[in-house]
Amino acid sequence: MKSLTIYIVEDEPLITATIEIALKKQGFKVIGDSDEYENALEEIDKLVPDLVLLDIQLEGVKDGVDLAQQLDDRKIPYLYLTSQTDPQTIQRVKETQPLGYIVKPFTEAGLRSNIELAWHNFNLTKEVFILLKAKGRTHKVNQNSILYLKAFDNYCYVVTAHNKYIVPHTLKKTSELLSPNSFIKTHRSFVVNINKITSITRNSVLVGKESIPLSHANRDAVLVHLQG
Q: Which of 125-129, 132-136, 146-150 has the highest mean pLDDT?
A: 146-150
Q: Which residue has the higher pLDDT, 84 or 22?
A: 22
Rounded to an integer, the average pLDDT of 3-22 is 94
pLDDT of residue 20: 95
Domain 129-227, CATH: 2.40.50.1020
Supply the mean pLDDT for the chain.
Answer: 91
Give dist(CA 137, CA 126) in Å, integer. 25
Q: Where are the domains of the chain?
A: 5-125, 129-227
Q: What is the torsion angle, in degrees rounded to the nearest 10, for the CA atoms of residue 96, residue 99, residue 102 and residue 103?
A: 40
- Tens of pLDDT, residue by residue over 104-126, are 888 999 999 999 888 888 876 66
Rounded to an integer, the average pLDDT of 73-77 is 90
Surface-to-core class of residue 217, CB atoms within 10 Å of its CB (0-12 exposed, 13-18 middle, 19+ buried): exposed
Neighbour-count burial for 157-190, b at 16+ CB within 10 Å, e otherwise: bbbbeeeebebebebeebbebbeeebbbbbbebb
pLDDT of residue 195: 86
Percent of the chain with pLDDT over 90: 66
In this structure, whether the domain defined by 5-125 belongs to CATH 3.40.50.2300 is answered with yes
Q: Give the per-residue SS3 of the chain.
A: CCCCEEEEECCCHHHHHHHHHHHHHCCCEEEEEECEHHHHHHHHHHHCCCEEEEECCCECCCCHHHHHHHHHHHCCCEEEEECCCCHHHHHHHCCCCCCEEEECCCCHHHHHHHHHHHHHHHHHHCCCEEEEEECCEEEEEEHHHEEEEEEECCEEEEEECCCEEEECCCHHHHHCCCCCCCEEEEECCEEEEHHHEEEECCCEEEECCEEEECCHHHHHHHHHHHHC
- Tens of pLDDT, residue by residue over 183-208, are 999 999 999 999 899 999 999 999 98
User: Identical fold at 5-125 and 129-227?
Assistant: no
Give dist(CA 181, CA 128) in Å, integer. 13
Rounded to an integer, the average pLDDT of 131-143 is 90
49: cis peptide before it, omega within 30°? no
pLDDT band at 1 (very low <50, low <70, confident <90, very high): very low
User: Is the pTM here over 0.85, yes or no?
Assistant: no
